[in-house]
Amino acid sequence: MQHRLQALRKALTEWQADAIITGKPVNRRYISGFTGSAGWVIVTARDAVLLTDFRYIDQAKSEAPDFRVINHERDEKAAIYKQLQELGVKRLAFEKAHITFATYEEWSQVFGGVELVPVAGVFEQIRAVKDEDELKVVREAVRIADEAFTHILSYIRPGVRELDIALELEFFMRKQGAASSSFDIIVASGQRGALPHGAASEKEIAAGELVTLDYGALYKGYCSDITRTVAVGEPPAKMREIYEIVLEAQLNGVGSIKSGMTGKEADALTRDIIAAAGYGAEFGHSTGHGFGLEVHEAPSLAMSSQTVLKPGMLVTVEPGIYLSGVGGVRIEDDVLITESGCEILTKSPKELLILPV
């Protein structure tokens, strides 16, 4: 974890802050290794302190060896303030996107002599580039999702409810070692395929429909996120047509994305193909997003994104076309940005699979 602390300390000097505090679970975990559900970390140029409660003291000591672990007992705010005073903190950076207004008000009252400095995206920028330890875990989260796709193909048939498919995916991934799915599983069949975030419903699959499955595994704190769209029996010609367009766009995306591009340029790799085919207005979301400890994190592959892609970033590439009242197609891979291009982590097939009815 030392290299993560180093990166954070570098950011601290840029903000001219003496310390940064976070209680956001994924940031706390990222910087300290502590996986418990409560606590605060304070990092200064020289020190690193983790305050948590009685339930977690032993766990924190073993998971966060680079941190001094302190039991904050009943008065958490007073305990934090005591540490700030001992550490000589005059300017305390806090994450303005994650601290509630109520907490800000309380800290302002209790932390006499400490200036609260609102900052944004400090941990998130560091987290965007993954280290080897993280990649190892993510590869396993992706492997579980790929295995689940192979498994679910024999389960999908006319008459099965979307909810049952979602449950079977989750059950399979947990048996493979996942703690849970990485978000609410999307199973959207037939007309429901036009809902980009169609959570699995009681609808039964019917012959001739496309089924979009969007899911991932949460494994050792890290997410995978994959989408495949399959046909149950022969699909209508229109759906075949949009499938081929989305596939061409997706292949161009993973074939051309590389470090040095902006998020906007990466987004155009899929968007331009879909727009040229006449479906620009039916592709209403961005091309992809970073993933890691959170299923959506920096960087974003979107028209508005000026973030420059770097080797070690993990992103999804997931174009789609959604025809209201008709159906939809989305295909999503997880990729690792490299110097010269990307490594596609998800291995599940992408040519249209037509399942027997």
CB crowding 256-270: b at 16 or more within 10 Å, else e: bbbbebebbbbbbbb
Residue written as token pair 């998020």: 263
Question: Can you tell me the distance from the alpha carbon of 228 to that of 302, in angstroms, rounded to the nearest whole number?
Answer: 21
Residues 203-232: x/- map of binding to Zn ion (CB under 5 A)?
-----------x----------x-x-----
CB of 39 to Zn ion, least distance (A): 29
Q: Name the phi and psi angles at 64, rounded to 5.
A: -125, 65
Helix intervals (H) in 154-236: 162-175
Q: Residue ranges of the alpha helices (H) in 57-156?
A: 57-63, 76-86, 101-110, 122-128, 132-153
Task: Note whether 261 and 309 are within 8 A (CB).
Answer: yes
Question: Would you call 106 helix, strand, or coil by DSSP?
Answer: helix
Q: Nearer to Zn ion by C-beta: 235 or 288?
A: 288
Q: From the CB of 56, what's the least distance to Zn ion, in Å? A: 32
Shortest distance (Å) from residue 315 CB to Zn ion: 9
Nearer to Zn ion, 52 or 346 (CB): 346
16-55 positions binding Zn ion, by CB under 5 A: none
Token duo for residue 150: 């192979």
Which of residues 52 and 316 has its CB atom nearest to Zn ion in the complex?
316
Residue whose CB is less far from Zn ion, 28 or 330: 330
Question: Measured from the CB of residue 225, what is the shortest distance to Zn ion in angstroms?
Answer: 4
Least Å from the CB of residue 25 to Zn ion = 21
Closer residue to Zn ion, CB minimum distance, 72 or 143: 143
Q: How many chain residues are in contact with Zn ion, going by CB under 5 A? A: 5
Give me the least distance between CB of 290 and Zn ion, in Å please.
Answer: 10
Of the listed pieces 30-38, 59-67, 252-260, 330-338, which binds Zn ion according to CB under 5 A?
330-338
* Nearest approach, Cβ of residue 316 and Zn ion (Å): 4
Residues 279-318 touching Zn ion, rule: CB under 5 A, are 316
Residue closer to Zn ion (CB basis): 52 or 270: 270
Does 333 help bind Zn ion (rule: CB under 5 A)? no
Q: How far is CA 331 from CA 162, 249, 250, in A?
A: 18, 9, 7
The answer to whether the beta carbons of residues 276 and 268 sit under 8 Å apart is no
Minimum distance of Zn ion from residue 87's CB (angstroms): 40
Cis link prior to 235 (omega < 30° from 0)?
no
Give dist(CA 101, CA 42) in Å, integer: 19
The binding track of 124-163 with respect to Zn ion, each residue x by CB under 5 A or -, is ----------------------------------------
Query: In the 8-state DSSP scheme, what is residue 309?
Result: P
**Nearest residue (CB) to Zn ion, 43 versus 145:** 145
* Contact in structure between 49 and 64 (CB atoms under 8 Å): no
| Residue closer to Zn ion, measured from CB, 22 or 229 | 229
Quote the tokens at residue 169. 């995916």
Closest contact distance (angstroms) between CB of 318 and Zn ion is: 5
Q: How far apart are CA 329 and CA 212, in angstroms?
A: 7
Rounded CA separation 192/186 (Å): 10
Query: Residues with Cβ < 8 Å from 68, sequence gap 6 or more?
Result: 47, 48, 49, 50
Residue closer to Zn ion (CB basis): 111 or 215: 215
Q: Give the interface with Zn ion as residue ranges (CB under 5 A).
A: 214, 225, 227, 316, 332
